[in-house]
Protein backbone atom coordinates (compact mmCIF):
# COMPACT_ATOMS: atom_id res chain seq x y z
CA UNK A 1 0.00 0.00 0.00
CA UNK A 2 1.28 3.44 -0.98
CA UNK A 3 -1.16 6.17 -0.01
CA UNK A 4 -4.49 5.07 -1.48
CA UNK A 5 -2.73 2.87 -4.05
CA UNK A 6 -3.15 -0.82 -3.23
CA UNK A 7 -1.15 -3.59 -4.87
CA UNK A 8 -2.27 -7.18 -4.30
CA UNK A 9 0.59 -9.40 -5.46
CA UNK A 10 -1.35 -12.64 -4.94
CA UNK A 11 -4.15 -11.55 -7.25
CA UNK A 12 -1.86 -9.31 -9.34
CA UNK A 13 -4.43 -6.57 -8.89
CA UNK A 14 -4.02 -2.83 -8.42
CA UNK A 15 -6.58 -0.33 -7.15
CA UNK A 16 -6.67 3.33 -6.22
CA UNK A 17 -9.40 4.57 -3.88
CA UNK A 18 -10.95 1.09 -4.27
CA UNK A 19 -11.24 1.52 -8.06
CA UNK A 20 -9.40 -1.11 -10.14
CA UNK A 21 -6.46 -0.09 -12.33
CA UNK A 22 -5.83 -2.46 -15.24
CA UNK A 23 -2.13 -3.01 -15.95
CA UNK A 24 -0.12 -5.21 -18.31
CA UNK A 25 2.29 -7.77 -16.90
CA UNK A 26 5.34 -5.49 -17.25
CA UNK A 27 3.50 -2.44 -15.88
CA UNK A 28 2.49 -4.46 -12.82
CA UNK A 29 6.06 -5.70 -12.33
CA UNK A 30 7.41 -2.14 -12.58
CA UNK A 31 4.86 -0.78 -10.14
CA UNK A 32 5.43 -3.65 -7.71
CA UNK A 33 9.21 -3.12 -7.75
CA UNK A 34 8.83 0.63 -7.26
CA UNK A 35 6.31 0.15 -4.43
CA UNK A 36 8.49 -2.47 -2.75
CA UNK A 37 11.19 0.20 -2.59
CA UNK A 38 8.89 3.13 -1.79
CA UNK A 39 10.67 6.50 -1.78
CA UNK A 40 13.98 4.90 -2.82
CA UNK A 41 15.44 5.69 -6.22
CA UNK A 42 15.76 2.60 -8.40
CA UNK A 43 18.25 2.82 -11.24
CA UNK A 44 17.25 2.26 -14.84
CA UNK A 45 19.68 -0.67 -15.00
CA UNK A 46 18.09 -2.36 -11.99
CA UNK A 47 14.58 -1.84 -13.35
CA UNK A 48 15.56 -3.34 -16.70
CA UNK A 49 17.38 -6.23 -15.04
CA UNK A 50 14.65 -7.13 -12.54
CA UNK A 51 11.59 -6.52 -14.72
CA UNK A 52 12.92 -7.62 -18.12
CA UNK A 53 15.37 -10.14 -16.72
CA UNK A 54 18.51 -9.09 -18.50
CA UNK A 55 21.33 -6.58 -18.41
CA UNK A 56 20.70 -4.28 -21.32
CA UNK A 57 23.76 -2.82 -22.98
CA UNK A 58 23.11 0.47 -24.75
CA UNK A 59 20.26 2.93 -24.79
CA UNK A 60 16.72 1.61 -24.48
CA UNK A 61 13.48 3.51 -24.49
CA UNK A 62 11.49 0.42 -23.52
CA UNK A 63 11.56 1.43 -19.87
CA UNK A 64 10.56 5.02 -20.67
CA UNK A 65 7.60 3.88 -22.75
CA UNK A 66 6.38 1.53 -20.01
CA UNK A 67 6.80 4.21 -17.32
CA UNK A 68 4.87 6.72 -19.48
CA UNK A 69 2.03 4.24 -20.05
CA UNK A 70 1.99 3.30 -16.36
CA UNK A 71 1.86 6.98 -15.37
CA UNK A 72 -1.03 7.53 -17.79
CA UNK A 73 -3.04 4.64 -16.35
CA UNK A 74 -2.35 5.79 -12.80
CA UNK A 75 -3.22 9.36 -13.80
CA UNK A 76 -6.61 8.23 -15.09
CA UNK A 77 -7.16 6.64 -11.68
CA UNK A 78 -6.03 9.80 -9.89
CA UNK A 79 -2.48 8.98 -8.81
CA UNK A 80 -0.33 9.66 -11.85
CA UNK A 81 2.08 11.84 -9.91
CA UNK A 82 3.21 8.98 -7.65
CA UNK A 83 6.06 7.99 -10.01
CA UNK A 84 8.92 10.47 -9.89
CA UNK A 85 11.82 10.71 -12.33
CA UNK A 86 15.25 11.19 -10.80
CA UNK A 87 17.16 12.64 -13.72
CA UNK A 88 20.12 10.57 -14.95
CA UNK A 89 19.48 7.93 -12.30
CA UNK A 90 16.07 6.25 -12.42
CA UNK A 91 12.64 6.38 -10.84
CA UNK A 92 10.97 6.24 -7.45
CA UNK A 93 7.45 5.89 -6.11
CA UNK A 94 6.22 8.30 -3.48
CA UNK A 95 2.99 9.86 -2.31
CA UNK A 96 2.94 13.56 -3.19
CA UNK A 97 2.51 15.97 -0.29
pLDDT digits (tens, 9 = 90+) for 18-33: 999 999 999 999 999 9
Residue 69 has pLDDT above 90, yes or no: yes
Q: Which of 85, 81, 79 is nearest to 6 (CA)?
A: 79
CA distance 6 to 45: 26
**pTM for the full predicted model:** 0.89
| 80 pLDDT more than 80 | no
pLDDT band, very low/low/confident/very high, at 56 (cuts 50, 70, 90): low
HEC secondary structure over 2-20 = ECCEEEECCCCEEEECCEE
- Confidence band of 59 (pLDDT split at 50, 70, 90): low
Amino acid sequence: TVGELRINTGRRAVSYNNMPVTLTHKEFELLHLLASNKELVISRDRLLSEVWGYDFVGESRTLDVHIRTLRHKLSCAGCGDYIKTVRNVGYKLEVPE
